[in-house]
Amino acid sequence: MFKKMLLISSLIFIVNIRTDACTSAIITKGATKDGSAICTYTCDGEFHPTLRYYPEADHDPSDSVDIIDWSGNLRGKISQVPHTYSVVKWMNQHQLAIGETTFGGREELHNQNGLLHYEDLMLFTLQRAKTAREAIKIMIDLTEEYGYRGEGETFSIVGKKEAWLMEIIGKGPGVKGVIWVAVKVPDGYITCHANKARIGDFTKYSKDECMYSKDIKTFAIENGYFEPDSQSTFRFCDVYCPPTPENKRYSASRVWSIYRRIAPSRIFTTYYHRGIKGAKPYPLWIKPDKKLAVKDVMSLMRDHYEGTKFDMTRGIDAGPYGTPNRWRPITWKKNGNEYTWERPISTQQTAYSFISQTRPFLPDEVGGLFWYGVDDTYFTCYIPLYIGINDIPNSYATGDFQKFSWDSAWWVFNFVSNYVHLKYSYMIPEIKKVQSNIENMLLKNQYTVEQTAKLLLEIDHDLAVEYLTNYCVANGEQVVEKWKELGEYLITKYNDGYVKNESGEAMEKGYPDKWTEKVLKNRPEQFKLPKK
């Protein structure tokens, strides 16, 4: 059993090399059309993600789990519990899902001597908790016993009864435990976070709606983060992650974009995320103008500020074909000024993302549904993974960041999403058509698949698991094959700057007029031919 746990922990932590930033949202059941509670998460970092399934298991009292760091070194170990629940990436067999974003916060509170990183907390909590409240307690207990080595972190925790937003930050080098606060998201509302602490004045909530560490305020006062005699309200997000023009632009812009799309009637201004002095931060949660379907949530995760004045497909920085991607670094300095590109929800740095559905009105095996996609959310295609499965598509569990392979889903999707930027405005409609067709088909099949699985569960549980597993694995592999075909089609049609017509003839398309006008304005004489 010990060797098994060593293998599993090694697989977990070696593949996840580094994450730069993420975006996460909670859509409560009262805010969705089908009554499911939804958690979304984009894991943004330059690494190759490996989808994993962790089976339910019993363990001996002496069992422990080795903690392996991202370089493959043994960092320590924790005691195992008698029984662990099955997990499909970040959702367990009890329909509990967890997402996160790193907000960093005060650097001096980062305890690099702690044992557990945020991903450790997420996995071990999902293996041990049934509910959102249990998850919060387990996370805190683990940090107090073993120490937390991460930066400030925000967690989305969605269970069958409740959805919670939780924020933690360390207490400094060599100190175990964390400063933390958690608030329950009211039903019918939506909240989101994007690398900036969001929970403000938590004292206005009842004990049933809010939990926090006993020293949350005294610790801040002792360290000079808050003046007790001031007239200021104690706000966790301001005290432990002070707002700056940089983190407002980088993080609040994404919150604003989600809010402006789900509640256009509210007309949220851009003042706060553009750093206008005195502008109020965006609400912690809001009611959407209308209830959302899963397809709507997929759309929310695909965003470059299209249709706003920050639209990344427009302007000279988008190049001749309107590509929304901006290559890193995101900030730079010139002539004494500091500049930054916009940071959208959809980004080329996304390794994977998910949309989980928690539906307590269905048996757990089918009620928990994990829509999973690799690479940039704008170009991915989400596949359904029910938490009742006992295997996953091999192409999503395969691959090496240092070596391209057509056998790896991540590399297949990266091939398409990287190639599209050569002629983005031409290729993106073709990609979106294939993406939409596949996802619409999977969403359409959802009801029939779930009704069949429910019937099978009443007859033979193992047969139901086999049915769900075969369905999910087959769909995953078929989507990868479709994306291979799409990549081959695109490189054939859009080759060497030409665009082939229906007859296969290479057509010269040149550049858009608006772009050539900008080129000529910049260098008016260089390209001019002498008059005859």
Predicted confidence (pLDDT) per residue in 342-367, tens digit:
999 999 999 999 999 999 999 999 99
CB 110 within 8 A of CB 151: yes
The answer to which of 10-19, 218-227, 296-305, 384-393 has the lowest mean pLDDT is 10-19
pLDDT bin (cut points 50, 70, 90) of residue 20 is: low
What confidence category does residue 230 fall into, taking pLDDT thresholds of 50, 70 and 90? confident
State the pLDDT confidence band at 2, using cuts at 50, 70 and 90.
very low
Residues of the chain with pLDDT > 70, as a percent, come to 96
pLDDT tops 80 at residue 17: no
pLDDT at 15 over 70: no
How far, rounded to the nearest angstrom, does the alpha carbon of residue 82 sit from its chain's CA centroid? 31
Domain definitions of the chain by residue range? 2-243+349-353, 362-494
Q: Is 300 exposed, middle or buried (0-12, 13-18, 19+ CB in 10 A)?
A: buried
Pick the residue with more confidence: 328 or 8? 328
**Contact 106/225 with Cβ under 8 angstroms?**
yes
* pLDDT at position 478 over 50: yes
What pLDDT does residue 331 have?
94
Tell me which residue of 67, 49, 41 sits closest to 153, measured CA to CA. Answer: 41
pLDDT of 6 higher than 90: no
Query: What is the pLDDT, as a whole number, of residue 5?
Result: 38
Calculate the average pLDDT of the chain.
95
Could you give the 3-state DSSP secondary structure of residue 194? coil
What letter would DSSP give residue 253?
H
Instruction: Tell me: pLDDT of 518 over 50.
Output: yes
Region 416-431 average pLDDT: 98
Listed residue (289, 294, 303) closest to 257, CA to CA? 303
> Could you tell me which residues come within 8 angstroms of residue 292 by beta carbon, excluding any fewer than 6 positions away?
27, 31, 32, 33, 38, 190, 262, 300
Which residue has tokens 């307690």?
A: 137
Beta-carbon contacts of residue 511 (< 8 Å; ≥ 6 apart): 320, 519
Say whether pLDDT at 16 is over 50: no
User: What is the structure's pLDDT at 14?
Assistant: 34
pLDDT digits (tens, 9 = 90+) for 432-451: 999 999 999 999 999 999 99
- In the chain, what percentage of residues exceed pLDDT 90? 93
Residue 532's pLDDT band (cuts 50, 70, 90): confident
pLDDT surpassing 70 at residue 11:
no
Residues 6+ apart with CB under 8 A from 506: 495, 496, 498, 499, 500
Output the pLDDT for position 19. Answer: 47
**Residues in the chain, overall count:** 532
Rounded to two decimals, the pTM is 0.95
Average pLDDT over residues 326-346: 95
Mean pLDDT of 88-100: 98
Residue 9: the pLDDT is 37
